[in-house]
């Protein structure tokens, strides 16, 4: 089943967002170039001041249909991966949503465009973004039985979860208002070293799988549990803190 086909039981056309876009009322040369994968023409429109379409380049890029989709949604459907990476340089918002919350990741996932998904994630598209139904891109991939896309998004989410947890720890440990004298020097050193160890692992591990990211995050959680327990304790009930802070 194609992503834009609705079941008879459907009460809304919610997945119109994932279907083909209608041609704009006026000619859009950037859309034409994007669908053909013509990188040279795209570059010329944006960078050649003599090109007849140069002054309207941003307008063509940002132009949206009634559902709130710009030309990148169609580009994702057809898997023009190089075009997406190129257009990202010209200021398009890769986290943009349709009026019902569908993103480029949702679109690429529905159409099974694995390489496009990889590029979008590398360009820091929001893997946690959900539609008005609360579905993220991985759930959309599962809905349309795009197994490889769903597995990749599982991997990307596990990796991002580990990175986010490291950032959360670093931000907490260095925030005087959150620490409020509850941690001693050893606690802070333990936290810093644990975070650095996981950052080193992320940097140096070749082709880690999804479970390895999950395991690394669990190890970090185990190390941080007694420290976070101290931070969560009300003032006056927390453990005695070393004078060496």
The CATH number assigned to the domain with range 151-232 reads: 1.20.1270.10
CA–CA gap between residue 243 and residue 245 (Å, rounded): 6
Q: Distance between CA atoms of 17 and 140, rounded to whole angstroms?
A: 12
pLDDT digit string (tens) for the chain, length 245 residues:
456 444 333 434 556 788 766 666 567 888 888 888 888 998 898 888 888 888 888 888 888 888 888 888 989 988 988 888 888 888 788 888 999 999 999 999 999 999 999 999 999 999 999 999 999 999 999 999 999 999 999 999 999 999 999 999 999 999 888 888 888 999 999 999 999 999 999 999 999 999 999 999 999 999 999 999 999 887 655 444 444 44
The dihedral built from the CA positions of residue 148, 150, 156 and 159, taken in this order, carries a sign that is: negative
Give me the architecture of the 30-145 domain, per CATH.
Alpha Horseshoe (1.25)
Assess contact for 125 and 94: CB atoms under 8 A: yes
Per-domain boundaries in the chain: 30-145, 151-232
Residues 155-198: tens digit of each pLDDT: 999 999 999 999 999 999 998 888 888 889 999 999 999 999 99
């Amino acid at each position: 089943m194609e992503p834009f086909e609705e079941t008879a039981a459907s009460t809304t056309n919610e997945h119109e967002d994932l279907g083909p876009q209608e041609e704009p009322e006026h000619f859009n040369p950037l859309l034409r170039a994007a669908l053909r994968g013509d990188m040279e023409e795209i570059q010329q429109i944006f960078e050649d001041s003599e090109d007849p379409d140069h002054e309207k380049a941003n307008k063509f890029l940002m132009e949206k249909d009634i559902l709130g989709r710009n030309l990148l949604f169609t580009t994702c459907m057809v898997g023009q991966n190089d075009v997406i990476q190129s257009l990202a340089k010209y200021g398009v918002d890769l986290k943009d949503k349709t009026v019902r919350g569908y993103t480029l990741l949702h679109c690429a996932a529905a159409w099974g465009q694995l390489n496009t998904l990889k590029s979008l994630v590398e360009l820091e598209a929001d893997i946690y973004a959900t539609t008005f139904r609360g579905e993220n891109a991985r759930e959309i991939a599962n809905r349309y039985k795009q197994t490889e896309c769903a597995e990749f998004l599982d991997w990307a989410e596990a990796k991002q979860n580990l990175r986010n947890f490291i950032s959360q720890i670093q931000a907490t440990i260095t925030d005087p208002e959150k620490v409020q004298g509850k941690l001693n020097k050893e606690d802070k050193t333990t936290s810093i070293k644990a975070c650095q160890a996981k950052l080193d692992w992320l940097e140096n591990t070749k082709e880690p799988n999804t479970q390895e990211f999950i395991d690394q995050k669990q190890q970090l959680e185990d190390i941080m549990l007694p420290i976070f327990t101290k931070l969560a304790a009300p003032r006056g009930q927390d453990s005695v803190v070393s004078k060496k802070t």
